[in-house]
Amino acid sequence: MPELRQIERDILATGKIDGQELEVLRRRVYAGDKVKPPEADFLVELHKRVQHMTPAFQQFFYQAIKDHILADGRIDAEKVAWLRRMLFADGKIDDEERKFLHELNGEAQDACPEFKTLFAKSMKQPPEQHTCG
């Protein structure tokens, strides 16, 4: 199976992830049936660098990160620190990230106080402004 950096080069050469590239990425990220920290970190960096987000990649990205965070059903302080770096890297929370946090909040069997604080802070962020044309 191709290594992550080769997959990254192939994806960045086209600027988007769909079809075959997404399937190769999925197989590599879920090797061993769970998303490990190095793969999660890789996905976050790749997500920042992809020029053209496809709905399929967006769905895969947030599902893989959720699977990583909720691997044991709990969100602890270490995971919250990682989430905070991921979500606030650009200084704002967008609509997809807000939806993602809602899903985490609803699906976690247990969440530490730091997650509750992150969730509340994120929900207070202003929503994205969408314009036509």
Residues 17-28: tens digit of each pLDDT: 888 889 999 999
- Output the average pLDDT for the chain: 90
Is residue 43 in a domain?
yes
Angle (CA) 92-93-96 rounded to 5° is 145
Strands of the chain (E only): list them: 74-75, 110-111
Domain total in the chain: 1
| Nearest-angstrom CA–CA distance, 56 and 16 | 10
| Nearest-angstrom CA–CA distance, 116 and 122 | 10
List the domain range (segments joined by +) for residue 16: 4-124
| Nearest-angstrom CA–CA distance, 89 and 29 | 22
Residues 68-88: tens digit of each pLDDT: 999 999 999 999 999 999 998
Residues 54-73: tens digit of each pLDDT: 999 999 999 999 999 999 99
Is residue 133 in a domain?
no
- Which pLDDT score is estimated for 18? 83
C-alpha distances in Å from residue 75, one per residue of 9, 19, 69, 121 = 32, 32, 7, 16
